[in-house]
Amino acid sequence: MKDFWRRYRRNKGAVLGLVILLLVMLMAATAPLLFPGSPWDMAGAPFSPPGEMGMLLGTDSLGRDVAAGIAHGARISLLVGAVSTLAALLVGVTLGAIAGYLGGIADDVVMRFTEFFQTIPSFVLAILLVAIFTPSIGSVVFAIAVVSWPPVARVVRAEFLSLRGREFVQAAEVLGKSRLAIVVTDILPNALSPIVVLSSLMVASAILLESALSFLGLGDPNLMTWGFLIGSGRSVIRLAWWMSVFPGVAIFLTVLALNLVGEGLSDALNPRLARQRGAGA
């Protein structure tokens, strides 16, 4: 653990990312304190630019505080990102494990299935799903999960495939351990690091996906999200640039942070790659 952190620290970008991420989380956590009441409350005059009338980041077309929106939106965006990623991991890891460990026909079937899901333009699929189950946080999370598990399955499968052939797994077989025991105690722990790295990136893309959906008006109408803010600010971008610019920046920073953290993790988890990445990134 200690030298993990040491290796992680070596990647300056990753540290920066971690700091940003922590700040965003802090903001999400303290949103109700920073901005008491609902982010939907009409707190000031519509379209007042940043700084004016005590509105740090200005107000929107109904005089709602953009800053409040961003703070409260952080909670939802992070939540959606995390939950949908967890769901995707659940599906992806299970299928990937089955395919990779059992191999043969099981592998074939699962992989065809995965390929199939990767062939459908995922964003189109996401839109479709959300529309079918009517926009709500549930349907959004579901849609994101559905379109983001295939990469996990592929990675996990590859890992399992290679680990299955490794001698320590064969040794476990020879010791007479049960399949489940082997998967759980021998293979999974060694396949973890790529999954960890991947999931940090998945949270990032989940947040992007959510914002894209909200942008197209497919977000949960009762929840304040960054995507919604941009969506509502988009049409007035020339009247009130701050409405879409600041949430955009928020998304950018968060996603950036998650990516940096992801790189840091992969550096720390497999030093070989870290050397390759060199001082870059």
Partner 1 sequence: MSLLRVEGLTVALPSGGDRPHAVEDISFSVEAGEILCVVGESGSGKSITANAVMRLLPKGLPVRAGAISFEGTDLLALAPEAMRRLRGQRMAMIFQEPMTALNPLMRVGDQIAEVLRVHGSGADAARRVPELLAAVNLPDPAAIARSHPFRLSGGQRQRVMIAMALALEPALLIADEPTTALDVTTQMQILRLIREIQSRRGMGVLFITHDFGVVAEIADRVAVMQHGRIVEQGLAAEVLNRPQHPYTRALIAAVPHGAAPDRADITAAPVLELRQVEKTYRRGGLFGARAVVRAVHDADFSLRRGETLGLVGESGSGKSTLARCVVKLVEPERGTIAYHGTDLRPLSRAAWKPYRRRIQMVFQDPYASLNPRRTVGETIAEGPVTHGVPRAKALDRARDLLRLVQLDPGAMDRYPHEFSGGQRQRIGIARALAMEPELLIADEPVSALDVSVQAQVLDLLADIRARLGLTMLFITHDLRVAAQICDRVAVMQRGAIVEQGRTAEVFAAPQHPYTRQLLDSIPGRGWTPPAL
Partner 2 sequence: MEASKLPGFLLRRGVKAAIVVLAIVVCNFLLVHAAPGDPASVIAGQSGAADAVFLEQLRRQFGLDQPLHVQLWIYLKSVLSLDLGFSHRQQQPVAALVLERLPATLLLTGAAFAFALAAGVTLGALAAQRVGRWADSVITVIALTFYATPLFWVGLMLVLVFSVWLEWLPSFGMSSVGVEMHGLEVVWDVAQHLLLPALTLGLFYLAVYARLTRATMLEVADQDFVKTARAKGVPEGRILRAHVLRNALLPVITFAGIQAGQLLGGSILVETVFAWPGIGRLAFEALLARDYPVLLGVFFCTSVMVVLFNLLTDLLYAIIDPRVEVAG
Partner 3 sequence: MTVSRRGLLAATAAAPVLMRVQDALAQGIAPRRGGTLTSILTPEPPVLQIGVNNQGPTLVAAGKIFQGLLTFSPTLEPIPVLAKSWTISPDGREYVFRLQEGVKFHDGTPMTADDVIFSITKFHFELAPRARAIFALIDKAEAPDPLTVRLTLKQPFQPFLLMFDTSACAIVPKHLFDGQDYRTAPAVQRPVGTGPFRFAEWQRGNFIRLERFADYWKPGQPYLDAIIYRIVPDSQSRRLALETGQVQLTQASDIEPFDVPAMRSRPNLEVSIKGWEYFSPLSWIELNHRVKPLDDVRVRQAISMAIDRNFITQRLWFGVGRPATNPVASTTRFHDASAKIAGYDVKAAAALLDAAGLKPNAQGVRFTLKHLTLPYGEVWTRLAEYLRQSLRQVGIAVELESTDAGSWARRVGAWEYDTTINFVYQFGDPTLGVERTYVSTNIQKVTFTNTGGYANPKVDELFATARNSADPKDRQAAFSAVQKILCEEVPQIWLMEMAFPTIHDKKVRNAITNGLGVHASFDDVFLTA
Where does this chain bind partner 3 (CB under 8 A)? 38, 40-42, 46-47, 61-63, 131, 134-135, 217-222, 232, 234-239
Query: Applying CB under 8 A, does 191 fall inside the site for partner 2?
Result: no
CA distance 277 to 280: 6
Q: Give the residue with the Cβ less far from partner 1, 105 or 132.
A: 105
Residue 260 binds which of partner 1, partner 2, partner 3, none (CB < 5-8 A, kind-dependent)? partner 2
Residue 222 binds which of partner 3, partner 1, partner 2, none (CB < 5-8 A, kind-dependent)? partner 3
Query: Applying CB under 8 A, does 167 fall inside the site for partner 1?
Result: yes
CA distance 267 to 273: 6
Q: CA 204, 207, 208, 209 torsion: positive or negative? A: positive
With beta carbons less than 8 A apart as the criterion, state whether 201 and 258 touch: yes
Query: Applying CB under 8 A, does 108 fall inside the site for partner 1?
Result: yes
59 forms beta bridges with 65
**Subset of 178-197 contacting partner 1 (CB under 8 A):** 178-179, 181, 185-186, 189-190
Residues 227-248 as b or e (16 or more Cβ within 10 Å = b): bbbbbbbeeeeeebebbbbbbb
Decide: helix, strand or coil at residue 38: coil
Decide: helix, strand or coil at residue 133: coil
Query: Applying CB under 8 A, does 170 fall inside the site for partner 1?
Result: yes
Query: Applying CB under 8 A, does 127 fall inside the site for partner 2?
Result: yes
From the number of C-beta atoms within 10 Å of its C-beta (0-12, 13-18, 19+), residue 265 rates as: buried
Query: Applying CB under 8 A, does 166 fall inside the site for partner 1?
Result: yes
Query: Applying CB under 8 A, does 270 fall inside the site for partner 1?
Result: no
Residue 221 binds which of partner 2, partner 1, partner 3, none (CB < 5-8 A, kind-dependent)? partner 3
CA 190, distance to chain mean position in Å, is 23
Residue 266 binds which of partner 1, partner 2, partner 3, none (CB < 5-8 A, kind-dependent)? none
Q: Give the residue with the Cβ less far from partner 3, 26 or 237.
A: 237
Binding-site ranges for partner 1 (CB under 8 A): 108, 166-168, 170-179, 181, 185-186, 189-190
